[in-house]
Chain A
């Protein structure tokens, strides 16, 4: 089971964090800081895995963003790399050649995509198509929510 996923930039700014195990806020901060330091210090030609505490860390860099997952001892590192890649593909499809700024400004959307793809640290759906479909439909619903609302209506005058 995946314990958490982090996205952070080359400058060490956290862009997204998802925790699948209950962790105290203070520990989260400490772990994030520690991991960022370790991962950012690694040279580009190094492999994507490292052992950290009792977890295995799998990370991959896409442009200026690092995607970093923590998995358990028995988990498969290669499949986790694929999970990361799949998530990037999903983001890419959704935003249309995704860049760091997309994730910064639409960070809630990025979370929604992640939530459709992974749940409780497990892969929810192995099909890219069905994940994207679910997100699109949820977004449609959101637009429906928003569209009929005129300014007046919103002001409580309608």
Chain B
């Protein structure tokens, strides 16, 4: 035995220690892996020996290898062995190895509990120290539970060295074993006043971290911390305390008042930048960020530290030569910007300077700031500066970043800050000159978006795009610039789609058919071909009007000459389109030779206008019964099939078939028929968005988009003007335009003042131009009516209702379909077309048609019947689990002709982000009902008043000074065929019960010669579901919520529901605003929250729903509503 030990020890003398290992690795750079694998083998041998010193040495080496990325988990048990050595030297190594290698799933950890407990109570403070340090890295819930008491005792250890470590590790223990917090807290609080500064700062650290997670529980400590803050001189501790107050103050605004003095003192006196930064950051930023914007606002008032002070301090940071301070200054600035935009905007000069900084990350920060700083007034100036930087910028990444920022800045919130779109288009055109950018598609999509949505700009845009197309060689000349040729995609499409605006369509057509085009990417060529056809239609139309028929024939010839180039394309899309159009043109040519006028029919191919559809419109189409989107329609093709695919070359050579022209003709007729049918259908379909998209903006100014004067501009501007860049012209023009406007306004104001001179004091002060004073030269179409509830307007999809395009019918959920089926509607719709003038003649006709008087009486009776039906049946099933309500007014005798087609769409929005945007207070007792009024009759509707009979619980918010029964004036008038949206705010006391409110809408129907006053009754149904807001919830938070025991239970059976489970879930999500937390097979947990913060949790199974909520009544009602949804299926 002794011999064996001797042998082992002698071997050991030749063992490698850590230094040898490190040296070895450094000497074996070429075959490091091999060397290490031999080392690991050695280590394995060493670990097998009984000598603890050998083991410790081996473990030490393993720790090093672990850092290099080698797996050492196999040695976990040996590490535990070394940890339990009685010698400090080895223990230290063992704990170090454990802290580096162990994690929660290491199974040997459970063996360590007793060893750690022993070490914790060791008389040697350093044994205890290493144990605590190690434990802080690998503490598991089990360890935390078992050792919490031991550690708590250590918090009152005689040695500050141990106390401080024990206090710090308690935070980790709390995280793993929250139950320990309550018993340990008094002692932790005690440590705030520990005589040792190290222990004190450790306690501050821990409480600060805890308070960040749940500030409410630590409010009682505020006085103590206040004392610490005024007495401590340790910056590390002060920073933590300030952070802590940042978390506490929103809960207790009175704290703010108290903090003013010490904080201001600190800001003024401290020399430590980190402390200054913390003061500024915490006070103005952490506190001011949501989720408590309203409170923080008041906090700022309480603090009454002017934001200027803060911004000035930040200015000092930014002006500092230290890059770090500069960066942080900008970062903090961008956070302040959200709450105090005005005070930051005055430092625009400084931020623009930072764009010149040599540090890219500082430049990027400055760019971020600029994004938030733009206003209508300074947009052009800022973008001009940025354009200069684009020209100077080195390195494509930064330049690309600039480019995207320019576009972001300009396009933010629906081009809110752009007052002159001609300027913007020219900026976009200038950006196409950038070399080597990857963002061609971005520019292209902007061009498309602007051209589609800003109708007034189309003429100008088309001219610019035509120039681009003409100079396409500049864009494509260099292979490096391939990214930018995406722009040509947009250019070709815009020129084709809005070809009626082209000055010289023939020239553009030629440009689009140049042979060089064939070098462009396939998808661009495809657009070229398609839009060449559109242009061709336009050209034909203009040429056929002339007497000279040869011109038209020449155009056809041009197409026939050039298109074969594309027919040969290897790109399928290009080839197909080209051959199709080529045959069409050939056929047209034949007709032309027979002197048949074809232009009308050709352009009919591309007739129709673009209409906006909300991005989520598709969601409103219910999934048809029995449709399973996950199942295969056809079995997926086997792998081998795809290999059999024929090479492309064969397609390219294939000649187009001769039978095509005939089919084309048939198609034409049929298409026309279908189009007609569809138009009919659209006319009858209330959900179809009509060609004139409505928007609130459009009606703010009476003349509408088309009537806005457009500045005349020389359209023959070449791509690059020597000297002044193009966009600069617009800056000047815009300035002039604004001055003019201002002058006009002043005139008006003068007039007003003259009138008012005798009256009260001045209302207007013609000081510096304010944001609102600048009226945009062009309007952007904004779609709101089909927006699903609580979604912010982000982007739009435009769907074209052209012959070759799929029409999308936007349907809403089920109850809508019911209302659509109303007998009234179909009846009226059928009658409507024949009597557009009947309306006015009604009285004069009466005496003549005495015989028909009886009939009329009967009809009135019928109408009355209908009225009853409507007010009892239809109006009840509104709102709630479906977002829209359609009221079809009719039954009212006397005005039926007019209103029969007038339609009100109500949609329902609990107060959510939409409200944020408008800057109102977020409040759990407010609900916004957004109502879309659509006038479907031929008369003008005006003076609309919306009134609701308040109940005890729900009240319509009326402007101050008006009585409880006064109606609200709808702030617009409705010309025939347009719709607009108005929002009404309701205050709701309790949301646990559903509510029905009666209301009336009164309005004046104005015809050419008469006007009548009419009234429409309706009911608003506030279901409990409508108070729920879809809120995502993580499964762990969900589990905690369920465990908390605050929730009441309830359940409901779903009978006779036979639909796939995911449809069931989808329905609950869609109709009742839940989100799925977790789904396992046919069982899912779902979550939602009410606007007043009630949690609603569901456990959905195929036949039943178990539910929990902190408000049983609300839960009962929600479940009833869910049941109702499914009973309707």
B partners with A: yes
Asked if A54 is an interface residue, CB under 8 A from chain B, the answer is: no
- 0/1 per residue, B285-309, Cβ < 8 Å to A? 0100000000000000000000000
The answer to whether A126 touches B18 (Cβ under 8 A) is no
The answer to whether A123 touches B201 (Cβ under 8 A) is yes
Asked if B237 is an interface residue, CB under 8 A from chain A, the answer is: yes
Give min CB distance, B2 to chain A, whole Å.
6
Asked if B169 is an interface residue, CB under 8 A from chain A, the answer is: yes
The answer to whether B360 touches A145 (Cβ under 8 A) is no
- Taking CB atoms, residues of chain B closer than 8 Å to A46 are 323, 359-362
Known: A46-B360, A111-B96, A120-B171. Is A126-B88 also a contact (CB below 8 A)?
no
- Within the assembled complex, what's the spacing in Å between the Cα atoms of A46 and B358? 8
The answer to whether B161 touches A134 (Cβ under 8 A) is yes
Give min CB distance, B281 to chain A, whole Å.
7
The answer to whether B281 touches A141 (Cβ under 8 A) is no
- Taking CB atoms, residues of chain A closer than 8 Å to B326 are 47
User: Which of B62-70, B591-599, B914-922 forms contacts with chain A?
Assistant: B62-70
- 0/1 per residue, A8-23, Cβ < 8 Å to B? 0000001111011011
The answer to whether A154 touches B9 (Cβ under 8 A) is yes
Total A-B residue contacts, Cβ distance less than 8 Å: 161
Asked if B205 is an interface residue, CB under 8 A from chain A, the answer is: yes
Give min CB distance, B1065 to chain A, whole Å.
29
The answer to whether A47 touches B327 (Cβ under 8 A) is yes
User: Which of B143-151, B271-279, B1013-1021 forms contacts with chain A?
Assistant: B271-279
From the candidates A1, A47, A111, A155, name the one contacting B359 in the complex (CB within 8 A). A47
The answer to whether B69 touches A29 (Cβ under 8 A) is yes
Asked if B324 is an interface residue, CB under 8 A from chain A, the answer is: yes
- Within the assembled complex, what's the spacing in Å between the Cα atoms of A50 and B327? 10
Tell me the chain A residues, 121-158 only, with Cβ under 8 Å from chain B.
Answer: 122-127, 130, 134, 137-138, 141-142, 145-146, 154-157
- Chain A residue nearest to B327 in the complex (CB): A47
Give min CB distance, B324 to chain A, whole Å.
5
User: Which of A63-71, A72-80, A89-97 forms contacts with chain B?
Assistant: A72-80
The answer to whether A81 touches B168 (Cβ under 8 A) is no
Asked if A62 is an interface residue, CB under 8 A from chain B, the answer is: no
Known: A22-B103, A124-B165, A134-B161. Is A108-B18 also a contact (CB below 8 A)?
yes
From the candidates B9, B60, B103, B133, name the one contacting A25 in the complex (CB within 8 A). B103
- Within the assembled complex, what's the spacing in Å between the Cα atoms of A82 and B273? 11
- Within the assembled complex, what's the spacing in Å between the Cα atoms of A130 and B198? 9
Give min CB distance, B489 to chain A, whole Å.
34
The answer to whether A108 touches B63 (Cβ under 8 A) is yes
The answer to whether A126 touches B236 (Cβ under 8 A) is yes
From the candidates B22, B209, B277, B331, name the one contacting A122 in the complex (CB within 8 A). B209
- Taking CB atoms, residues of chain A closer than 8 Å to B362 are 46-47
Give min CB distance, A82 to chain B, whole Å.
6
- Taking CB atoms, residues of chain A closer than 8 Å to B92 are 112, 138, 142
A contact patch SS: mixed
Asked if B164 is an interface residue, CB under 8 A from chain A, the answer is: yes
- Taking CB atoms, residues of chain A closer than 8 Å to B89 are 142, 145-146
Asked if B93 is an interface residue, CB under 8 A from chain A, the answer is: yes
Asked if B923 is an interface residue, CB under 8 A from chain A, the answer is: no
The answer to whether B236 touches A124 (Cβ under 8 A) is no
- Within the assembled complex, what's the spacing in Å between the Cα atoms of A19 and B361? 27
Asked if A45 is an interface residue, CB under 8 A from chain B, the answer is: yes
Give min CB distance, B228 to chain A, whole Å.
14
Known: A1-B209, A50-B361. Is A155-B168 also a contact (CB below 8 A)?
no
- Chain B residue nearest to A134 in the complex (CB): B161
The answer to whether A134 touches B164 (Cβ under 8 A) is no
- Taking CB atoms, residues of chain A closer than 8 Å to B2 are 156-157
The answer to whether A126 touches B323 (Cβ under 8 A) is no
Give min CB distance, B177 to chain A, whole Å.
14
- Within the assembled complex, what's the spacing in Å between the Cα atoms of A133 and B272? 26
- Within the assembled complex, what's the spacing in Å between the Cα atoms of A101 and B172? 33
Binding site for A on B (CB under 8 A): 2, 5-6, 9-10, 18-19, 22, 53, 60, 63-64, 67-69, 71, 73, 87-89, 92-93, 96, 99-100, 103-104, 124, 126, 129-130, 132-133, 136-137, 161, 164-165, 168-169, 171-172, 197-198, 201-202, 205-206, 209, 212, 234-237, 239, 243, 273-274, 277-278, 281, 286, 323-324, 326-328, 331, 358-362
The 5 closest A-B pairs by CB, nearest first: A78-B274, A47-B323, A47-B327, A120-B136, A156-B5
Q: List 9 A-B contacts (CB under 8 A).
A: A47-B362, A74-B212, A76-B243, A76-B278, A79-B278, A108-B63, A108-B93, A124-B164, A145-B88
Binding site for B on A (CB under 8 A): 1, 14-17, 19-20, 22-25, 29, 43, 45-50, 74, 76-79, 81-82, 104-105, 107-108, 111-112, 115-116, 119-120, 122-127, 130, 134, 137-138, 141-142, 145-146, 154-157
